[in-house]
């Protein structure tokens, strides 16, 4: 087990290193002179040169790279050229919103995928199966922003069941005192159940819009895996021992069928955490996706390159956790075959 953990961690560090190199090269290979952008088109060459010096663009390339990653891991992410705020405060303000939406969407995605996959496999509901396959097909093929618009039209505009595109809370509501940056949890900590409920209501539509295509993908994967595993002889053997059908299914089919889903789930969560520009735009969600979108348009490269690294780190961390969970569930990963008599 120790060797597996060590291998995965080394692999993760390698992946993050690769991401830093890519982010670094791309930002420098892009057309446009960042120093010129900062000082504006009318500034003298001298002013441009002094800004170049100030942000280190005149240093040797390896020194620049070293400064880039050392500053990143020190939390010194530089300043946005667009509005002069520090990148860490800009991202800090937005990250909580993105993480909250990502976790919420991920939770309902996985929960629904498991429930529906069990319904059509364990409970054998052929009609539900057909409907589910249709929904999954549509959900996988429909662009999320379009799903978002449809959801808003139906549940906000027509039915008035859920709040519209007004961000994380109602316009006049005050955010709860900050502890975790997640409004739901902060509201609970502060004991403000009204705020808690309101933040949940505001999460539902963007959560569904963000998660629908991943749900479609995961439910199909899980359904196929469950069907395959439920034909395995070891399930017949478990039933032959006298176990009830659900007991045999829970103990032997679910853990095996979950393995591929775990990998897929890690990818999905990693993707959600990087934020979705379009969903955030549609719902006025103050997340990291819209921040980065603006930064790209303005060539605000301190923000962009910090985001690339941050996204890479989050993605790699999520997948590291998945790999370790995988090793916990599947002994074949952590215990090598030993020659036996």
Partner 1 sequence: MSEPTVSGESAANGSVPAPALSVRNLSTVFESPQRTVHAVRDVSFDMRPTERLGVVGESGSGKSALALSILGLIEPPGRVVGGEIMLGGRDISKLSDRSLGAVRGKDIALVLQDPMSALDPVKTIGYQVIEAIAAHEGELRRSAARKRAAELLGEVDIPQAERRLDDYPHQYSGGMRQRVAIAMAIAHNPSVLIADEPTTALDVTTQSQVLALLDRLVEQHGTAVILITHNLGIVSDFCDAVAVMYAGRFVETSGVDHIFLSPTHPYSEALLKCVPNPERLAEGPLPAITGFPPDLAQLPTGCSFQPRCPVGKDIPECQGQTPQPHTVEGPSGAASVECHFADQRIGQVKV
Binding site for partner 1 (CB under 8 A): 124, 232-234, 236-245, 251-252, 255-256, 259, 329-332, 335, 337-338, 340-341
To partner 1, the closest distance from the beta carbon of 250 in angstroms equals 12
Q: Tokens in use for 290?
A: 């819209």
Comparing CB distances to partner 1, the nearer of 194 and 240 is 240
Alpha helix locations (H) across 75-180? 87-121, 126-141, 144-151
Specify the 3-state DSSP secondary structure of 58.
coil
Smallest gap from Cβ 5 to partner 1, in A, equals 18
Count CA atoms within 13 Å of residue 260 on its CB side: 14
Structure token digits, residue 338: 């030993």
Q: In terms of CB distance, is 45 or 242 closer to partner 1?
A: 242
Nearer to partner 1, 160 or 241 (CB): 241
Centre a 10 Å sphere on the Cβ of residue 33 and count the other Cβ atoms it contains: 13
Pick between residue 63 and residue 236 the one whose CB is nearest to partner 1.
Answer: 236
**Smallest separation, CB 24 to partner 1 (Å):** 42
Residue closest to 274 by CA, chosen among 306, 322, 321? 306
Rounded least distance, CB 323 to partner 1, Å: 16
Q: Cα(289)–Cα(269) distance, rounded to whole angstroms?
A: 15
Please provide residue 182's backbone torsions phi and psi, each rounded to the nearest 5 degrees.
-95, 115
Give the residue with the Cβ less far from partner 1, 45 or 126: 126
Task: Please identify, using beta-carbon distances, which residue of 108 and 333 lies nearer to partner 1.
Answer: 333
Q: How far is the CB of 224 from partner 1 (least distance, A)?
A: 17
Shortest distance, position 231 Cβ to partner 1, whole Å: 9
Q: Structure tokens of 261?
A: 């889903």
> What is the enclosing helix (H) or strand (E) of 240?
helix 233-240
| Alpha-carbon span 50 to 199, nearest angstrom | 47
- Measured distance CA(34)–CA(32) in Å, rounded: 6
């Amino acid at each position: 087990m120790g060797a597996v953990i060590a291998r995965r961690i080394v692999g993760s560090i390698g992946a993050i290193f690769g991401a830093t190199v890519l982010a670094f090269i791309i930002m420098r290979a892009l057309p446009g002179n960042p120093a010129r952008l900062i000082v504006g088109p009318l500034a003298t060459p001298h002013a441009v040169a002094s800004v170049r010096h100030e942000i280190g663009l005149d240093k040797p390339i390896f020194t620049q790279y070293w400064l880039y990653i050392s500053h990143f891991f020190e939390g010194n992410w530089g300043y946005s050229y667009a509005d002069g705020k520090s990148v860490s405060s800009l991202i800090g303000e937005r990250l909580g919103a993105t993480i909250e939406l990502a976790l919420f969407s991920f939770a309902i995605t996985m929960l629904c995928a498991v429930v529906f996959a069990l319904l059509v496999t364990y409970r054998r509901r052929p009609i539900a199966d057909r409907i589910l396959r249709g929904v999954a097909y549509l959900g996988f093929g429909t662009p999320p922003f379009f799903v978002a618009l449809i959801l808003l039209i139906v549940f906000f505009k027509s039915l008035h069941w859920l709040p519209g595109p007004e961000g994380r809370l109602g316009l006049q509501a005050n955010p709860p005192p900050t502890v975790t940056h997640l409004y739901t949890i902060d509201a609970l900590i502060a004991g403000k159940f009204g705020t808690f409920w309101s933040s949940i209501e505001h999460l539902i539509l963007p959560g569904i819009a963000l998660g629908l295509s991943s749900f479609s993908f995961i439910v199909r994967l899980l359904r196929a895996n469950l069907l395959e595993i439920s034909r395995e002889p070891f399930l017949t053997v478990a039933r032959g021992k006298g176990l009830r059908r659900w007991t045999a299914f829970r103990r032997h089919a679910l853990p095996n069928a979950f393995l591929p889903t775990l990998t897929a789930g890690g990818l999905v969560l990693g993707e959600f955490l990087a934020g979705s520009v379009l969903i955030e735009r549609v719902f006025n969600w103050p997340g990291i996706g819209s921040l980065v979108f603006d930064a790209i348009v303005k060539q605000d490269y301190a923000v962009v390159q910090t985001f690339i690294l941050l996204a890479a780190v989050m993605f790699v961390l999520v997948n590291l956790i998945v790999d370790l969970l995988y090793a916990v569930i599947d002994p074949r990963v952590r215990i090598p075959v030993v020659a036996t008599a």
